[in-house]
Amino acid sequence: MRQKLQAVFTALVILAAAFPASAKTTVFVSVLPQKYFTEQVGGERVEVSVLVERNRDPHTFEPLPAQMAALSQADGYISIGLPFEDSLLPRIRQLNPSLRVFAADRGIEKITGKDKDHHGHTHEHGHDHDHGGSDPHVWNGIREARTIAQNTCAALAELDPEGAEYFGRNLGNFLERLDALDAELRELFRGREGAAFLVFHPAWGYLAREYGLEEVAIEVDGKEPKAAEMAAVITDAKRRGVKVVFVSPQFSERSAETIARSIGAAVETVNPLSEEWEENIRAAARAIAEAAR
């Protein structure tokens, strides 16, 4: 076993040598929306890499050897509160003891899994994601995005003090755009307060909480629903007059398609992990607003 571990460590060191030092501050983040935030604030002074790449599932994520090698050379890592980070961070620190680690979700009021109806569906006040009882999809709320951007700015300023003023200006510009986006979405959701929308995986709870909507999930405790649970979802969806079932590209559409056929609804894909965060939030909000009429 010791020989195996030594071989793995040697391989990672060799891989790390393939990553030359960069003049920019090198930062790793967990998911693609974070990459967007970090680039908006960091601009030309920061090189950003992401662990959970396009269409990979953060709930089952395991880093590749090349990613671990790159992390061993990075200046900083900005976490976001996903479960895989708990087991990853000790391994990263073993490879790179000098790595600075920052929490982008610091100060965010998390949605917890305590407010569920009798079918086990999740509402805007709480989701049970099997993530220690809190919803980790904080990047999909505008208020939360502000906090993430502010924490990211503080992290980058610590890593690159000479760039602090530059990061602060970029942050100010980004926060102005978020204010404009917030005003746009408030107008979009005006008159829809209390309306429900049906999703397979509950990834839009922070958006729902912010604009007074109700997110109803097909998943039960992070798992595909059983037959009785599926029947309960169908009954509830018919009662609510649901016309659209939202799915994510990272998950199977099978259960969602079964429910959609049973209630005469359409299946529509919205991506909770898009790198083009601003454009994606706007598109997802429009789709949800249309479904929540």
Q: What is the mean pLDDT of the chain?
A: 87
**Helical (H) or strand (E) element with 46:** strand 46-52
Over residues 120-178, the pLDDT tens digits come to: 334 433 334 444 578 999 999 999 999 999 999 999 999 999 999 999 999 999 999 99
Residue 280's closest CA among 198, 207, 196, 200? 207
Cβ–Cβ < 8 Å for 99, 74: yes
Q: How far is CA 37 from CA 162, 167, 215, 270, 278, in A?
A: 20, 12, 25, 19, 9
58 secondary structure, DSSP code:
G
Closest by Cα among 232, 92, 75 to 156: 75
Question: In CATH, which superfamily holds the domain spanning 192-291?
Answer: Nitrogenase molybdenum iron protein domain (3.40.50.1980)
Domain with CATH 3.40.50.1980 in the chain: 2-110+136-181, 192-291
pLDDT at 1 over 70: no
Nearest in space to 189 (alpha carbons), one of 144, 124, 267: 124
Instruction: HSE, CB side, 13 Å, CA atoms: give it for residue 133.
Output: 4
281 confidence band (pLDDT: 50, 70, 90): very high
State the pLDDT at residue 207: 98
Higher pLDDT, 10 or 110: 110
pLDDT of residue 14: 47
Per the CB < 8 A criterion, the answer to whether 110 and 133 are in contact is: no
Q: Which two tokens stand for residue 208?
A: 């729902």
Closest CA to 10 of 72, 81, 78, 80: 72
Among 233, 232, 268, 231, CA closest to 248: 268
Model pLDDT for residues 67-100, shown as the tens digit of each residue: 999 999 999 999 999 999 999 999 988 989 999 9
In this predicted structure, the answer to whether residue 6 has a pLDDT above a threshold of 70 is no
pTM of the model: 0.85
What's the pLDDT tens digit per position in 214-248? 999 998 777 788 889 989 999 999 999 899 999 99
Over pLDDT 70: what percentage of the chain?
86
Number of Cβ within 10 Å of residue 241's Cβ equals: 10
R_g of the chain computed on alpha carbons: 20
| Spatial separation of the C-alpha atoms in residues 184 and 178, rounded to whole Å | 10
Position 22 scores a pLDDT of: 53
- Measured CA distances, 95 to 19, 62, 89, 111 (Å): 14, 16, 10, 33
**Superfamily of 2-110+136-181 according to CATH:** Nitrogenase molybdenum iron protein domain (3.40.50.1980)
Distance CA 137, CA 139 (A): 6
Region of poorest pLDDT, from 17-26, 248-257, 278-287: 17-26
